[in-house]
Amino acid sequence: MFIKEVIPSIIKDSREENTIQIEIDTLKGKFISSAPSGKSKGEYEAPAYSSRGIHWDLRLLKIFAEKIKNKNFFIEDFEGLGELDNLIKNFENQYESLGANSTYTLQTAFLKAAAKENQKELWEFVKLKKVKPKIPMPIGNCIGGGMHSHGLPKPDFQEFLLISEETSFAKAVTKNYHAYESAKKLIKQKEKKLFLSVNDEHAWRTSLNNEDALEILNEVADKFGLKIGLDIAASTFFDSKGYYHYDNKRFAMDREEHLNYMRNLIKKYDLFYIEDLMWDNDFSGFSELNSSQKRLIVGDDLTATNAERLDMAVQGESINAMIIKPNQNGSLLEVAKIVKMCKEHKIKIIFSHRSGETMDDALADYAVGFGADYIKTGIAGKERLVKLRRIIEIEKSTRWKFLS
């Protein structure tokens, strides 16, 4: 693969914030990638950019681009990414470390180009040894709260989720969307609003409290045959004194009260999925609820797409499912290592978008190629739909291959 040129630039994400885009030009064409960005960031995720910010990363990327310009790479599979990875590490030793968004974007553009060079789709090219590709099922954010929604009042919980388990991804996406539109009508009736706005992830914004939002979610889930879940994002309303502060109802809970509240919500609403139910160092709190394989106890801020954090969760039997956000780590080789660890310990894999998204659809290919069980991308909004449509496209082109 001959690199004619590498062009780093800054573009706007779905929140109108700056993010990195990289274009790699080869003899086979132009290949573009861009990085999403999170608003609710875990304490243990890799920094998105160097300590001097995105513009400094852009400067470093332009220097690196000159170093690989007119260079030939002989890469036949995903593991061949190691050649680029070594070049990045050597560059960082000589100059300064790049942020995770920059390295992720560079590697993704490189893999897109390499896949084309090898006459493969990206999902085929990134297939891992001893890991079978699969079509994941969609997890959709229907009602929003927490840090993804602006203004007060709002639900304290960050995401109210719909989960479909159809045999067809396309049918699952359609069900989620119909339920999402049905939820809109119910929220408008409850709040007596003519118009309803959306939050950062295109979920419905509401002033309802957690339980009222759950009642609506439960109603639409029953109507369309869906399961429901929550992203509690507990660290976002946990304080250093050990209390969880519920702004919507204006009260605080200590650890045991909060844990009991989680138990009650799981039982009352038959929650299938519950993410970041405790603050991000309470591994034992997660493990107290991780006794049933009938529901997903999910780590996100807890594990932060980090192999060491995952190992701690495994040792403590804290989770049975894990969010993977590739740009949260920055190294796709490390992401592959985490995927293999999850497979080894029977932990369900959920590839996830970020609240600030772009039109790059590589996340869909990674979810399929790495054999994820679920993909969390939202239900509506062009930056979310482009990823859902990409999996529908893959499903159509590979249906008999995956069924065989």
Catalytic machinery residues: 201, 325
Q: Say if residues 3 and 109 touch (Cβ distance below 8 Å).
A: no
Q: Say if residues 138 and 169 touch (Cβ distance below 8 Å).
A: yes
Q: Which two tokens stand for residue 104?
A: 């992720």
81 to each of 30, 106, 276, 365, 383, how far by Cα in Å? Answer: 18, 11, 32, 16, 27
Residue 380: closest CA among 236, 180, 234: 180
Question: How would you class 24 by CB atoms within 10 Å of its CB: exposed for 0-12, middle for 13-18, buried for 19 or more?
Answer: buried
Q: Which two tokens stand for residue 161?
A: 């989720």
**How far is Cα 312 from Cα 43, in angstroms, rounded to an integer?**
15
Q: Which amino acid type is present at position 377?
A: T
Question: How would you class 112 by CB atoms within 10 Å of its CB: exposed for 0-12, middle for 13-18, buried for 19 or more?
Answer: buried
Q: Say if residues 103 and 330 touch (Cβ distance below 8 Å).
A: yes
Q: Which amino acid type is present at position 54?
A: I
34 to each of 19, 23, 69, 112, 370, how far by Cα in Å? Answer: 7, 9, 19, 12, 20
Whose tokens are 């006794």? That residue is 291
Q: Which amino acid type is present at position 12?
A: K
287-304 as b/e: b if 16+ CB within 10 A: bebbeeeebbbbbbbbbb
Q: Say if residues 324 and 350 touch (Cβ distance below 8 Å).
A: yes
Residue 73: closest CA among 122, 115, 136: 115
Q: Which two tokens stand for residue 13?
A: 């994400």
242 to each of 253, 282, 294, how far by Cα in Å? Answer: 9, 11, 29
